[in-house]
Amino acid sequence: MRYKTLRIIFFICLSLVYTTLNAQKIYKIWDSQPGRNAAMDSVKAKGGGAKDADWEAESYPLGNGYMGANVFGRTDIERIQITEKTLCTEGKYDLGGITSFADVFIDFNHHHPQNYSRVLNLNDAILYVDYEYDGVRFTREYFINYPDNVMVVKLSANKKGKVSFTLRPQASFVRDSKATYPRTAKSSAQGNLITLSGTIPFFSENYEAQFKVVHDGGILTASNKGDAGEIKVKNANSVVLIIAAGTNYELSKRLFLEKKHGKKLDITKYPHQKITNLIQKATSKGFSVLKKNHLSDYQQLFSRVKLNITNETPSITTRTLLNNYINGITSPYLEELMYQFGRYLLIASSRKGTLPSGLQGVWTAYELTPWTGGYWHNINIQMNYWGAFNSNLAETFIPYIEYYNAYLPKAKEIATTYLQSLNYQVSDTADNGWIIGTGASPFVIGTPGGHSGPGTGGMTAKMFWEYYDFTRDLTFLKNIGYPCLLGASKFLSKTLQPDSLGVLLVQHSASPEQAISKGKYYLTKGTTYDQAYVWENHTDLLKAAAIVGSDDPFLKIAAYQVDKLDPILVGESGQIKEFREEKKYGEIGEPNHRHISHLCALYPGTLINSHTKEWMKAAITTLDLRGNKTTGWAMAHRMNARARTKDGEKAYEVYSKFIKEKTLPNLWTVHPPFQIDGNFGCMAGVAEMLLQSHEGCIEILPALPKVWKNGEYSGLVARGNFEVAVKWKDGKANLIQIIAKSGGECVVKYPNLAKATILNAKGVRISYKKSGDDIIRFETTKGGRYKMEIK
């Protein structure tokens, strides 16, 4: 009887512990004033066009992967800037680039409101605006629903008959046919619907948006002035606006294979029926169902990870919180908020069936988005997804898998052409693998060369191995992941030639964007970046082949080559050499360059690790020499690299500097200008400080800074598809919980863990094997839950 009672008490305690670790804190970005919306400055933005500084810093972003919106929350004339990810104009570099879709203006004419608040709630991905004007309390709710693919805005008041406004959508950057970047547009209002449509001739791209006004009470009037339609609502009780947008873009293999831009899309196809169907279905469901669908979809993603490094939830605005932080008043809540904001942005900008998250995610106010807003494969697109896997959002990588499947035939074509152009060995069967260069867009992918070598392909393929390693999706590995790695390795193997000592070196190699003079990039043989990514790809390929049981003859070549690469060299300054011919640090290229490409072998690669002590020491020296005075995303890379060195203080130092120097009042981050990769890179960095699993074990709190001395988290994911929860006090973990989502052997590392007691979900003590004092290993069952109490 006593034993039964103790078991009941144990289960109650275990349940309480699990509940505590999964308690969700409310995260919000908020202000007590509307966003400023001054005219675009005369200062040119990168890539051309005027810079919209207020859009970058003041607006709050919403998104569902297909569409993004930036809301200013104004009470005089509200501005909602709309982006639809497939709408592209000519841009630069002959790639095409994402461009602003439209601005939606709502004239309220409420000047000098009282008790104003504008809140972006990250827990439910809904933006709320609330204020008093002329004795009436006005409330707005904005969200973009992924299941129904519409934006929804509800306008209401605490008194009947008080909602009045004029709705005026305007297409962005309409240009005459003789202009440099021509674009047509017209809008018309009929009944309670405004339809805005047009064409961008460069890609033969037709676009359309519809704006449905569903009003309760009051009077609705539609009118048209030339090519512009508007709807006025007077004295309604409440109004729901439903917005849908799209183009005739279709992701396909043909899209990338077609050489002529104007023939990539079918100019005779229009998105009208698709948009009409979205609007009609959403309208029939009504606001409550649309909101319920949105919350159900979004929250099951966002709520997976809980992080608590402070019990404080500041009452001051986010703008003030950030200003205080910049002025030396640290805030663990802001550091926590930045992490969860990164997860929010990833969900908002990358969902299955949509294009991947680009350089600006799914948001741009520009005609020519900086650097096209595209997919840059020498680090930026990879950084967008670094944190997807360990932060429990692996399915946000699916859009890139879909994108890869579409561009793959072109990537194979590029591989053969590239090899032929440099007189490399070309397969008679044309099985030369695949490669992608740095620049890419929804329409075009590039070729290696210029400032980046073929390591861009290896760095891209690394994401596919990581997706498998974190999810253990064997079907994916067999059908997509392994063929991807095999194709990348086949190409990379052909870029290798032996030197006088028999070392295989990548020919025509570069360390991304390192220049010896302005605009003159340093080209050589066997840079650490390229050599390391051949090693990473070959190594991952051989692991994948063993799992899927492949006996492809090429595997023998990969196994031979991987030992002939000599990828990491230490120089006279104790540094990881960026170039083989380098002796002292910084004698080639910029010594404080933003890229730390030679340290990609440390992160996101695995070649440099705690088992390669000489290399790790040299990596630390290199980080010290490179310094942290750099651009936004580059700080994020340094943060992750420092976490991999297991130095929590140095990782935190970069994170704090990043928040102080590269973060805007809406918590978007800048290169400058605004780039989403900084947000995503730091999201990954926080997770990397708290959990690592690249060295064959799950390492708990590997880079915990002293300032985070007490805390807990749950839902982070380790390789092997183990979901991990940890509580710690005074810098020491006292409780670890693991859910084995796929089963298999679990190896965990933490100081003195060999003395821990491990219990399964039934409270039964399980046996484990020890590897010294700090590492234990035990078998798990699929779905099994395990608790470790550390003495």
pLDDT digits (tens, 9 = 90+) for 414-437: 999 999 998 887 876 668 999 999
What is the pLDDT, as a whole number, of residue 430? Answer: 64
DSSP for residue 48: S
Q: Distance between CA 316 and CA 309 in Å, rounded?
A: 19
In the predicted model, is pLDDT for residue 22 greater than 70? Answer: no
Q: Using alpha carbons only, how large is the chain's radius of gyration in Å? A: 27
Q: What stretch(es) of the chain map to CATH 2.70.98.50?
A: 32-303
* pLDDT beyond 90 at 49: no
For 444-501, write each residue's pLDDT tens digit: 999 998 899 999 999 999 999 999 999 999 999 999 999 999 999 999 999 999 999 9
Q: Which two tokens stand for residue 103?
A: 């601005």
User: What letter represents residue 28's amino acid?
Assistant: K
- Report whether pLDDT(102) > 80: yes
d(C-alpha 582, C-alpha 571), whole Å = 7
Regarding beta strands 744-749 and 698-700, do their DSSP bridges make them parallel or antiparallel, or are they unpaired? Answer: parallel
Range name among 38-52, 170-184, 602-616 with the lowest pLDDT average: 38-52
> 339-349, pLDDT tens digit by residue?
999 999 999 99
- The reported pLDDT for the residue numbered 547 is 98
Residues 596-605, mean pLDDT to the nearest whole number = 98
- Whether residue 672 is preceded by a cis peptide bond, meaning omega within 30 degrees of 0, is yes
734 — phi, psi (to 5°)? -120, -10
| Residue 11 pLDDT exceeds 80 | no
Burial class (CB in 10 A: 0-12, 13-18, 19+), 745: exposed
| CATH no. of 32-303 | 2.70.98.50
The C-alpha atoms of residue 182 and residue 90 are separated, in whole angstroms, by: 9
**Cβ neighbours around 223 below 10 Å, total:** 11
Count the helix, strand and coil residues of the chain and give each as a percent rounded to the nearest 5.
35, 30, 40
pLDDT of residue 46: 53
pLDDT digits (tens, 9 = 90+) for 630-644: 999 999 999 999 999
- Beta-carbon neighbour count of residue 286 at 10 Å? 13
Contacts of 135 (CB under 8 A, 6+ apart): none
In the predicted structure, residue 18 carries a pLDDT above the cut 60: no
Q: What is the mean pLDDT of residues 617-622?
A: 98
The pair of structure tokens assigned to 358 is 């680009």
pLDDT for the residue numbered 23? 67
What pLDDT was estimated at residue 5? 42
pLDDT at 354 over 90: yes
The rounded distance, in Å, linking the Cα atoms of 508 and 492 is 12
**Residue 423, pLDDT score:** 83
Which CATH architecture does the domain made up of 350-591 adopt? Answer: Alpha/alpha barrel (1.50)
CA distance 485 to 555: 11
In this predicted structure, what is the pLDDT of residue 24? 78
Spatial distance between the Cα atoms of 431 and 360, rounded to a whole number of angstroms: 35
- Residue among 81, 128, 88, 135 at smallest CA distance from 113: 135
**Residue pLDDT, tens place only, 247-270:** 999 999 999 999 999 999 999 999
Residue type, 511: S
Which strand (E) or helix (H) includes residue 395?
none
Phi, psi of 490 (to 5 degrees): -60, -45
Average pLDDT, the chain: 94
Work out whether strand 88-89 and strand 77-84 pair parallel, antiparallel, or are unpaired.
unpaired
Q: Which residues pair with 153 in a beta bridge?
A: 142, 241
In angstroms, rounded to a whole number, what is the distance separating the alpha carbons of residues 273 and 484?
36
**Whole-prediction pTM:** 0.96
Interval 368-403: pLDDT, tens: 999 999 999 999 999 999 999 999 999 999 999 999
Residue ranges, comma separated, of all CATH 1.50.10.10 domains in the chain are: 350-591
Give per-residue pLDDT as tens, 512-568. 999 988 889 999 999 999 999 999 999 999 999 999 999 999 999 999 999 999 999
Pick the more confident residue, 649 or 227: 649
517 or 72, which is more confident: 72
> What does each C-alpha distance from 202 to 177, 183, 264, 265, 365 come to in angstroms?
11, 9, 10, 10, 19
Percent of the chain clearing pLDDT 90 (strictly above): 91
Q: What is the DSSP string of 328-368?
A: T---HHHHHHHHHHHHHHHHHH--TTSPPPBTTBT----SS
Cα 449 to Cα 218: distance, rounded to the nearest angstrom: 62
Q: Closest by alpha carbon to 120, among 33, 193, 201, 30?
A: 30
CA-wise closest residue to 454 among 518, 401, 522, 526: 526
Angstrom distance (rounded) from CA 477 to CA 483: 8
Predicted confidence at residue 91, as pLDDT, reads 86
Residue 392, pLDDT score: 98
**What tokens were used for 152?**
């929804």
Report which of residues 467 and 227 the model is more confident about.
Answer: 467
Residue 43 confidence (pLDDT): 46
4: pLDDT strictly greater than 90: no
Q: Round to whole Å and give the CA distance between 447 and 452.
A: 10
Q: What is the pLDDT of residue 7?
A: 42
What mean pLDDT do residues 148-163 have?
98
- Separation CA 408–CA 49 (nearest Å): 33
Q: Which distant-in-sequence residues (6+ apart) come within 8 Å of 508 by Cβ?
A: 422, 448, 449, 453, 454, 495, 523, 525
Q: What is the DSSP string of 72-120?
A: ---SSEEEEEEEETT-EE--STTT-EE---EEEEEE----S-EEEEEEE
